[in-house]
Structure 1
Amino acid sequence: MFKRFAHPRLLTLLVGLLLASACTAQSGAPAPYTEGTEYVTLPAPHQRYSSEGKVEVVEVFSYGCIHCAQFAPTAEKLRQQLPAGVAFKLVPAPFSAEWLPYARAYYAAKQLGVVERTHLKLFDAKFAQHYPVNSLDELADFYAHEGVDRAAFMRLATSAEATAKLKEDLALIQRWQVDGTPTIVVNGKYRVITMHSFDEMVAVTQWLVKRELAGK
């Protein structure tokens, strides 16, 4: 019995046709997420948080928000999983007088270079261990316990620069039409709508990030 083998050129043609049809099917597939349901496109002109050039994933949050505390470990995993060319940023939301000290504390901690090692700890101290970390003085005590110079913290948290940053960030948050926390904004262009679960928020964020990377 003779075995029949396709001619190499014919094989190449067949493989090419199969790949082309697969690509066509993929490009014609519906998007997994819907504008207005899982995310919204923000009004133009779109405004990013920084000008460093990378695609941005911004979490608008507050240390006074229990939902932010619950989301924080998931947000940290998201930060670590983002591809090259994508930057993760935190923006504190001063939505009330009670939340102002937390925003000032974040700006001071950022200038002191301690956010990465204190971010999750502050949530834990407030919501898991129920330490009194509400006023700026109490927040200063928390950071001092973490090895931060208390006087330097208070000086930075109450500085004119921190006040100016508060106003600047609040104006940007309002342009992004953020009205709750935690909220994710991708590249100053898309706002992820509150999902049924944090995993959904992350999935939508990663999908939007891929769209932005593909468009660069």
Structure 2
Amino acid sequence: MIKHLARLRLFALLGGLLLASACSAAPDTAAPFTEGDQYVTLPAPQQRLSPEGKVEVVEVFSYGCIHCAHFAPTAEELRKSLPKGVVFKLLPAPFNDAWMPFARAYYAAKQLGVVQRTHLALFKAKFEDNYPINTLDELADFYARQGVNRAEFLRIANSEAATAQMKKDFQLLQKWQIDGTPTIVVDGKYRSGHVKSFDELVKLTRWLVDRELVGK
């Protein structure tokens, strides 16, 4: 079973910014996955990451999570294989103080347009090559090695906009009832639950995507 590294806890950020603080069809006995076990139908109304009309697959992750590192290559293959009308998105989880720099790094990388070419590289540098990548300064060093302007990276990562985005995204994680990573959310309606392997997580995601595509 995939072990969750992180559990939600309440903490304050920057003097008062509080970060931590289903309407489903009738059960189908022929379904390959069980509601309430392998996946959970989230409470209505539907809470999506973005308003765009495509079916949305969101991976909740952290660069500080070794299980996310192990899942990352599989998630990339999943992203590439999703059918037309489906979009794959990433959402960083600042579940504890140690993971907040990784969330800020993602927001900066996204704004700088370098996520696609640095996402797997960051996991590799941290967990395979054993670079000391934990603080925002160490993350800035990593992105600088990838050709990113270090000062600009730090400016964006430390900005009020990044803080506001972190707060907004964390509120969404709470609505999705997420307490660990990696977790998949499909269309803001279904959340992965107890799966035994990454392969099962991928199969579950594709099955939920197919259900949503039929519904649309």
C-alpha contact (below 8 Å) 1:49/1:188 kept by paired residues: yes
1:172-195 deviation line (CA, Å, top 9, x unaligned)? 001000000000000000001131
Structure 2 unaligned spans of 5+: 1-27
Distance 2:114 2:122 in 1: 11
Which one-letter code corresponds to 2:182 in the other structure? P
2:30 corresponding residue in structure 1: 30
Mapping of residues 1-216 of structure 1, within 5 Å: 30-216=30-216
- Partner SS state of residue 98, structure 1: helix
Structure 1 unaligned spans of 5+: 1-27
TM-score (norm 1): 0.86
1:36-91 deviation line (CA, Å, top 9, x unaligned)? 12111001111000001110000000000000000000000000000000000000
Higher fraction of helix: 1
C-alpha contact (below 8 Å) 1:57/1:89 kept by paired residues: yes
Q: CA RMSD in A?
A: 1.0
Which one-letter code corresponds to 1:37 in the other structure? D
Larger Rg: 1
C-alpha contact (below 8 Å) 1:94/1:170 kept by paired residues: yes
C-alpha contact (below 8 Å) 1:194/1:201 kept by paired residues: no
2:22 corresponding residue in structure 1: none
Which one-letter code corresponds to 2:38 in the other structure? E
Q: Please report how far the alpha carbon of residue 171 of structure 1 lies from its aligned counterpart in structure 2 after TM superposition.
A: 0.4
Which one-letter code corresponds to 1:135 in the other structure? T
Distance 2:115 2:96 in 1: 22
Runs of 4+ in 1 over 3 A off after TM superposition: none
1:9-60 deviation line (CA, Å, top 9, x unaligned)? xxxxxxxxxxxxxxxxxxx981111111211100111100000111000000
1:92-130 deviation line (CA, Å, top 9, x unaligned)? 000000000000000000000000000000000000011
- Partner SS state of residue 90, structure 1: strand
Distance 1:113 1:77 in 2: 20
Which one-letter code corresponds to 1:207 in the other structure? W
C-alpha contact (below 8 Å) 1:91/1:169 kept by paired residues: yes
Count of aligned positions: 189
1:12 corresponding residue in structure 2: none
Higher RCO, 1 or 2 (CA under 8 Å, sep at least 6)?
2
